[in-house]
Structure 1
Amino acid sequence: MVNAKALWESLERKYKTEDAGSKKFVVGKFLDFKMMDSKTVISQVQEFQLILHDIHAEGMVLGESFQVAALIEKLPPTWKDFKNYLKHKRKEMKLEDLIVRLRIEEDNRQSEKKAGNYHQEAKANVVEQEGSKTSSINVLNSLY
């Protein structure tokens, strides 16, 4: 007959091994998470928050300043200027405050798109004709 201690140790070995595996899986999800331009930032922030919730549920602790810095780093490529702005702020920011700022910035970007305020960039092409020393410059205004 198996005593209670032996049974307990057997169960502990089995479930602690699974626990370590699930922690690694959650950490992997956290490290692999990247935001894309094809989805709204706020929906991706919600996905990020779910991953943070899973990390906390596994008993791992991440400081709030680390969570804020990680979220800023994971912003999509088109948010580069806003990311740099957030990185250079001197005052500590709470995660809730960052999410509010991201929501406001995303709303502003959507309003600009609807209003047609696209960034314009001038591009120049130099074309030289054979036998002629003159060149013509075609300036194209293209919309982002």
Structure 2
Amino acid sequence: MLFYLTTLNLTRFLNEDAPKLDEGETNKEKVAAVDAWKHSDFVCRNYVLNGLDNSLHNVYNPLKMAKELWESLGKKYKIENAGLKKFFVGKFLDFKMIDSKILLSQVQELQVIMHDIHAEGMIISDSFRVAAFIEKLPSSWKDFKNYLKYGRKELSLEDLIVRLRIKEDNRLSKKKVGRHLKVSRANIVEEGSKPNKKRNKYGEGSTQGLKKFIGKC
């Protein structure tokens, strides 16, 4: 809206107060200038009103001057914007990574929050972002977390994410191998504990069967 009003040379009416005529003023040029100002202010005000959602039009329609309307909108949405900043900061501070979820999906969630904070005009240095990501790693990553925290090499966020991806892939591979070994050992134990079901045709036990065989001979 501000850009549009600038192209129409109407932005000054968002800041200027209405000119006033002295009591009994009869100078035609001054009267014409005031009338022209009021007309341009009226046009500016209605451009702003027409740019609002229908549900807001009736709320702001009673405001008769462009400056008054613009300031009222500014107060409303600047306050909302400040609240939004606090919301994103709180969301970032409260965010905790947990072991029950895939780490990289949680890293992506944190990146989205960081992006929202940046979009609100709050600048965060790369060093702070890297340190924050490391600090929020879950408890099972304690050793790797300490390795990253006290490492001498300065990491970028992209480098950190690559390392986390490699580490998580390795952890998942080890878990799969561990599960496979457990299943294999369980099968071996189960097979070893099963009784020999083979029986000869003369009876259940091999000794008794042998006696019956000898007796028939």
Q: Same fold (TM over 0.5)?
A: yes
Distance 1:9 1:48 in 2: 35
Matching residue's letter, 2:68: A
- Cα RMSD (Å) of the superposition? 1.2
Residue pairs, 1:34-113, within 5 angstroms: 34-113=96-175
**Is residue 2:82 matched to residue 1:16?**
no
For residues 47-86 of structure 1, what are the alpha-carbon distances to aligned partners after superposition, in whole Å with 9 as ceiling and x for unaligned? 0011011111111111011000000000000000000000
Deviation at 1:2, TM superposition (A): 1.9
Distance 2:113 2:169 in 1: 24
Deviation at 1:12, TM superposition (A): 0.5
Larger radius of gyration: 2
Give the structure with the higher percent helix.
2
Task: Give TM-score scaled by structure 1 length.
Answer: 0.79
Distance 2:122 2:108 in 1: 19
Deviation at 1:7, TM superposition (A): 1.1
Matching residue's letter, 1:91: K
SS of the residue 1:34 aligns to:
coil
Match of 1:28 in 2: 90
SS of the residue 2:100 aligns to:
coil
Matching residue's letter, 1:101: R
Distance 1:7 1:58 in 2: 24
For residues 13-48 of structure 1, what are the alpha-carbon distances to aligned partners after superposition, in whole Å with 9 as ceiling and x for unaligned? 000000011111000100000000000110100100
Distance 2:144 2:102 in 1: 15
Matching residue's letter, 1:103: R
Matching residue's letter, 1:84: N
* Dislocated runs of 4+, deviation >3 Å: none
Match of 1:126 in 2: none
Matching residue's letter, 2:136: K
Unaligned stretches of 5+ in structure 1? 118-144
| Percent of aligned pairs with the same amino acid | 71
Task: Give TM-score scaled by structure 2 length.
Answer: 0.53
